[in-house]
């Protein structure tokens, strides 16, 4: 009797195991197809500038949009996620050095990467947050690209991506922003220019980079990836509602909350938010207080 029970338990387990293997094989193939799909998006070229004010603005945007955070301080790319279960994600070398942008990498190629999340060949860029960058005005994109023409070439020898078991499962269920190409309205055109002053409108324009973690409505939620803490609600009814403008600015500049708690820069990227100007932080505060 006992022997028979064991036999049946064994058969059931074997069936479940086989089903899991088939399910994973399906997920593997379908994510592989999404990673290798080819797109053709149209972009008209923009005219770059060598004006000092534009280049200074570009350098500031590269700092506050965290390009250097992911692409490395010299923008020569780096392995920025390497997890045994999730996989390895590698950012590109944005300089003209070896392993970087080829000599025929034109303005339209830059625009396809920044506004559509595809590379020169039209294949999806993994984890590159173009769904946030596409919300930048034409003037800001021109400033970024103009500045990037002036950075010194740095040679790099980077490995390729390697998306593993958990990374594929989370991608399949759209739990990680691995395929920004699928998160963009590719026909949206250029966003409206927003005047740079202490206003909720300018704040709203700036917080696109916060939504990746704090969610579209900025009300926070569960951890963005396994092993990270939950993300705070930063609206008027959440954390920011309890802060004065000065406390808010201080938190984003020093990573220390009004209660004296130190935020981990790997979880809440305050070294990047510390680079915002007073006007920018005050505008973000005004906007967050309005929701
Ligand atoms: C969250 C991290 C992250 C941030 C922030 C980020 N990138 Fe990227 N970017 C990546 C990764 C990862 C890739 C590589 C994607 C691939 O090859 O699949 C990439 C690819 C690119 C490419 C494509 C190059 C190519 O191979 O065709 C360009 C151009 C680029 N990034 C520019 C920028 C600029 C400019 C900024 C700031 C405005 C920026 N990135 C911000 C992660 C990031
Ligand atoms: C890479 C993900 C990420 C991005 C991008 C991000 N945050 Fe956060 N933020 C977090 C996490 C995670 C926490 C919670 C950290 C904790 O409680 O230890 C947090 C906490 C905060 C807090 C609350 C601190 C407190 O007192 O508890 C504020 C305010 C905040 N973020 C503002 C912003 C603003 C404004 C932006 C955009 C300019 C932004 N964050 C971008 C992940 C992020």
Nearest CA residue ID for atom 9, ligand 1: 128
Q: Identify which ligand lies nearest to the alpha carbon of 203.
A: 2
**Pocket of ligand 1, candidates 70, 112, 209: which has the most ligand atoms within 8 Å of its Cβ, to mutate?**
70
Q: Is 120 in the pocket of ligand 1 (CB under 6 A)?
A: yes
Instruction: Kindly tell me the burial class for residue 124, based on how many C-beta atoms sit within 10 Å of its own C-beta (0-12, 13-18, 19 or more).
Output: buried
pLDDT level of residue 228 (50, 70, 90 thresholds)? confident
Q: Provide the pLDDT for residue 237.
A: 94
Q: What is the mean pLDDT of the chain?
A: 94
Instruction: Please give the distance, rounded to the nearest whole angstrom, from the Cα atom of residue 232 to the centre of ligand 2.
Output: 6
Q: Give the strand pairing for 79-83 and 162-163.
A: unpaired
Whole-number Å distance, alpha carbon 13 to ligand 1 midpoint, is: 44
Q: Which of 129, 208, 214, 290 to mutate to test the pocket of ligand 2 (most atoms within 8 A of CB)?
A: 214
The ligand 2 site (C-beta within 6 Å) comprises: 207, 209-210, 212-214, 224, 229, 231-232, 234, 239-240, 251, 257, 263, 267-269, 273, 284
Mean pLDDT of 267-275: 95
Residue 271, C-beta contacts closer than 8 angstroms, at least 6 positions apart = 69, 255, 265
Q: What is the DSSP string of the chain?
A: -HHHHHHHHHHHHHHHHHHHHHHHHHHHHHHHHHHH---------------HHHHHHHHHHHHHTTHHHHH-TTSS--EEEEETTTEEEE----SSSTTS--TT--HHHHHHHHHH-B-TTSPBPSS--HHHHTTS-HHHHHHHHHHHTTSPP--------EE-HHHHHHHHTT-S---GGGGS-TT--PPPP---SSSHHHHHHHTHHHHHHH-TTS--BS-SSTTSPPBPP-STTSGGGGS-HHHHHHHHHHSB-TTSPBPPTTTS-HHHHTTS-HHHHHHHHHHHHT-
* Ligand 1 contact via 249 beta carbon (within 6 Å): no
Reading the block at residue 28, the tokens are: 């593997």
Q: What percent of the chain clears pLDDT 70, i.e. is strictly above it?
A: 99
- Give Cα 154 distance to the centre of its chain: 23
- Name every residue whose Cβ is closer than 8 Å to that of residue 28 and which is 6 or more positions away in sequence: 168
Least Cα distance to 133 among 110, 163, 152 occurs for 110
Determine which residue's CA is closest to atom 6 belonging to ligand 2.
Answer: 210
The pLDDT, as a whole number, for residue 225 is 78
pLDDT classification of 1: cutoffs 50, 70, 90:
low
- pLDDT of residue 6 exceeding 90: no
**Rg of the chain on CA atoms, in Å:** 22
Q: What tokens does 230 get?
A: 């939950």
Residue 200 and residue 245 in contact, taking contact as beta carbons nearer than 8 Å: no
Nearest ligand 1 atom to the CA of 109 is 27
What's the pLDDT at 175? Answer: 85
pLDDT digit string, tens, across residues 122-170: 999 999 999 999 999 999 999 999 999 999 999 999 999 999 999 999 9
Distance 244 CA to ligand 2 centre (A): 16
Closest by alpha carbon to 278, among 198, 206, 185, 182? 198
User: What confidence tier does 174 reach under pLDDT thresholds 50, 70, 90?
Assistant: confident
User: Which ligand lies nearest to the CA atom of residue 284 in the structure?
Assistant: 2
Q: What phi, psi does 262 have (nearest 5°)?
A: -85, 125
- The pLDDT value recorded for residue 198 is 96
Say if residue 2's pLDDT is above 80: no
pLDDT for res 227: 81
Closest-CA residue to 190 (of 129, 257, 146, 137): 137
Q: Is the pLDDT of residue 194 over 90?
A: yes
In the reported structure, the alpha carbon of residue 111 is separated from the centroid of ligand 2 by a whole-number distance in angstroms of 28
- Digit-coded pLDDT (tens) for 44-101: 999 999 999 999 999 999 999 999 999 999 999 999 899 999 999 999 999 999 999 9
């Amino acid at each position: 009797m006992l022997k028979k029970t064991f036999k049946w338990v064994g058969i059931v387990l074997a069936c479940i195991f086989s089903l899991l293997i088939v399910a994973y094989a399906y997920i593997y193939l379908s994510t592989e197809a999404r990673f290798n799909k080819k797109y053709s998006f149209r972009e008209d070229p923009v005219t770059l500038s060598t004006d000092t004010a534009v280049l200074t603005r570009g350098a500031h945007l590269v700092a506050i949009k965290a390009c250097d955070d992911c692409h490395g301080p010299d923008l020569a790319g780096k392995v920025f996620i390497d997890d045994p279960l999730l996989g390895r994600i590698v950012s590109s070398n944005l300089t003209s050095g070896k392993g970087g942008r080829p000599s025929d990498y034109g303005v339209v190629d830059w625009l396809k990467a920044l506004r559509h999340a595809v590379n020169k060949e039209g294949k999806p860029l993994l984890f590159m947050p173009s769904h946030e960058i596409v919300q930048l005005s034409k003037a800001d994109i021109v400033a970024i690209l103009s500045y990037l023409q002036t950075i010194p070439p740095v040679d790099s020898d980077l490995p390729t991506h390697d998306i593993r078991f958990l990374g594929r499962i989370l991608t399949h269920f759209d739990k990680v922003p691995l395929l920004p190409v699928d998160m963009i309205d590719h026909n949206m055109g250029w966003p409206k220019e927003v005047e740079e002053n202490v206003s909720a409108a300018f704040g709203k324009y700036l917080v696109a980079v916060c939504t990746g973690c704090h969610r579209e409505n900025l009300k926070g939620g569960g951890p963005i990836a396994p092993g990270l803490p939950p993300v705070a609600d930063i609206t008027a009814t959440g954390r920011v509602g309890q802060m004065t403008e000065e406390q808010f600015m201080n938190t984003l500049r020093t990573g220390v909350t009004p209660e004296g708690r130190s935020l981990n820069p790997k979880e809440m990227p305050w070294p990047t938010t510390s680079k915002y100007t007073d006007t920018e932080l005050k505008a973000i505060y005004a906007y967050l207080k309005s929701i």
